[in-house]
Chains A and B, each alone.
Chain A
Amino acid sequence: MDALLQQFFNFDIMMQASPIILRGFGMTLLLCLVVIPMGLLGGLAVALASLSPIRAVRWITIVFVDLFRAIPPLALLIFISAGLPFADIRISPFTAVCISFLLNNSAYYGEIYRSGIESIGSGQTDASRSTGLSATQTMAYVILPQAVRNVLPDLISNTVEVVKLTSLASVVAFAELLYAADMARSVTYNASPITFAAILYLIVLWPVVRLLSRLENKMQN
């Protein structure tokens, strides 16, 4: 039992490692601030394109969504960060993470928005158009606000997944929370720094997960 505590909950080691881990935590938050809005906007663009009146645009969107839902996020990230240099394109780990997250998250958020938009009856569009609103105005002021409200739990749940996914950035040496913790782990030969990182992830995500599970169960009743 003592060995377990020493290996996973060593308070001294956690304190020693805390400066770099907290800096990594800051980087994780920064990364989230960049990739979440990017994914939300990219997803909206994907959803609107998937409902386009032009058939070719719809087909291209479907291929895009299926492609990036099929490839594991880590494989996509490695492909971009290790593959692009071969094409003489040099990018920083941060850029590689942003590109791969934009592609992956747009596909997932896009599917959520689309199901939201499809959940709104066509009567709403008819009514809105007949009052004189343009198609764009109808989408922006009538359909989207209702659609987003209907799929809000899914949007939040996907955002939790995105925050968890930022941990993959550690694999391409972007100095976020898990990277910093793993550095400290390899120097101290002790897993406590990663436990510390896990606690930080929990502080951010546990309340959201709790909220989600209440929302989900409330919708059933």
Chain B
Amino acid sequence: MTQYERFLDTFFNPEVMANYFPKIVEGLLVTCQIAFLVVISGIVFGLALALLRSYRWTPVNLAIIFFVDMFRALPPLVLILILYFGLPNVGFTLSGYVVLWLVLTCVLAAFSEEIFWAGILSVDKGQWMASRSTGMSYTQTLLNVVMPQAIRLTIPPLTNRTIAITKNTALGMVIGVDELLNEATTAQAFSGNATPLMMGAIAYLILFVPVVYLGRYIEHRFAWRKV
């Protein structure tokens, strides 16, 4: 076999590819599913925290800031290992799937709270005053006047952050969630061939390259034009 043929045989072996294709697709679907759930719950939770913070109720705000700091400063893998291996010993067993979802949701909530909060702060005080003086309540002002303006500023950073955190679904491999990376490494171990790893990498690219492009487009589309 020439060097080139050996390379193809190791990384693009058609037989191995056919064998493990269904497994890789299954893994890809699980990855998509967790990613979808994390995006929804993380952003909703983060938005709720930012809205709550805008009422500037000191004890609540301190709690929110503490939560956000923790989940911004700690590596997600550390949190995943603590929950996955620690909780069963206190009689509280969560599956790897739930642990992964819970940790990534909290991480995304923390980052998106900061982004939404920065958006809320960016809205001019005059908007608040004008709206309140027309007779709207605080909550009405927040939801109908301030948020629509704040959201615009938050979309580019929020998209980028969401993409970065969604890719962390690969961490599920470490606690045995049967997502894409796990299926790929398992198949690589069973087949003794690197083709499944290559398939996994390609599957990730198929999934995330369009998302990265979308992020680029949104960043461009929503950029503040310099005056």
Footprint of B on A, CB under 8 Å?
A: 3-4, 7-8, 66-67, 69-76, 78-79, 82-83, 86-87, 160-161, 164-168, 170-171, 178, 182, 185, 189-191, 194-195, 197-198, 201-202, 205-206, 208-210, 213, 216-217, 220-221
Give, as a whole number of angstroms, the nearest-CB distance from B23 to chain A: 16
Knowing A71-B204, A86-B11, say if A78 contacts B73 (CB, 8 Å).
no
Knowing A165-B75, A178-B75, say if A66 contacts B85 (CB, 8 Å).
no
Interchain CB contact under 8 A, B201 and A71: yes
Please count the residue pairs between chain A and chain B whose beta carbons lie under 8 angstroms apart in the complex: 147
Interchain CB contact under 8 A, A164 and B81: no
Q: Tell me whether B86 is interfacial, beta carbon within 8 Å.
A: yes
Interchain CB contact under 8 A, B78 and A167: yes
User: Which chain A residues lie closer than 8 Å to B10 at the CB level?
Assistant: 86-87
Interchain CB contact under 8 A, B73 and A201: yes
User: Looking at B11, B74, B171, B209, which has the most chain A CB atoms within 10 Å of its CB?
Assistant: B74
Interchain CB contact under 8 A, B170 and A82: no
Interchain CB contact under 8 A, A4 and B90: yes
Interchain CB contact under 8 A, B69 and A210: yes
User: Which chain A residues lie closer than 8 Å to B81 at the CB level?
Assistant: 178, 182, 185, 191, 194
Give, as a whole number of angstroms, the nearest-CB distance from A59 to chain B: 14
CA distance A145 to B122 in the complex (A): 27
CA distance A76 to B164 in the complex (A): 14
Q: Tell me whether B174 is interfacial, beta carbon within 8 Å.
A: yes
Interface string of B135-178 (1 = CB under 8 A from A): 00000000000000000000000000001100111110110000
Interchain CB contact under 8 A, B86 and A194: yes
Per a CB cutoff under 8 Å, which of B76, B122, B185 touches A78? B185
Interface string of B1-33 (1 = CB under 8 A from A): 000000100110000000000000000000000
CA distance A66 to B72 in the complex (A): 24
Interchain CB contact under 8 A, B75 and A72: no
Interchain CB contact under 8 A, A220 and B122: yes
CA distance A166 to B78 in the complex (A): 11
User: Which chain A residues lie closer than 8 Å to B212 at the CB level?
Assistant: 66, 69-70
User: Would you give 28 A-B contacts (Cβ < 8 Å), ordered by A?
Assistant: A7-B89, A66-B209, A69-B208, A70-B208, A71-B205, A72-B181, A75-B170, A75-B201, A76-B201, A78-B173, A83-B198, A86-B10, A86-B194, A87-B11, A164-B74, A166-B75, A167-B75, A168-B77, A189-B89, A190-B89, A194-B82, A202-B73, A202-B74, A206-B73, A210-B69, A213-B114, A217-B117, A217-B118
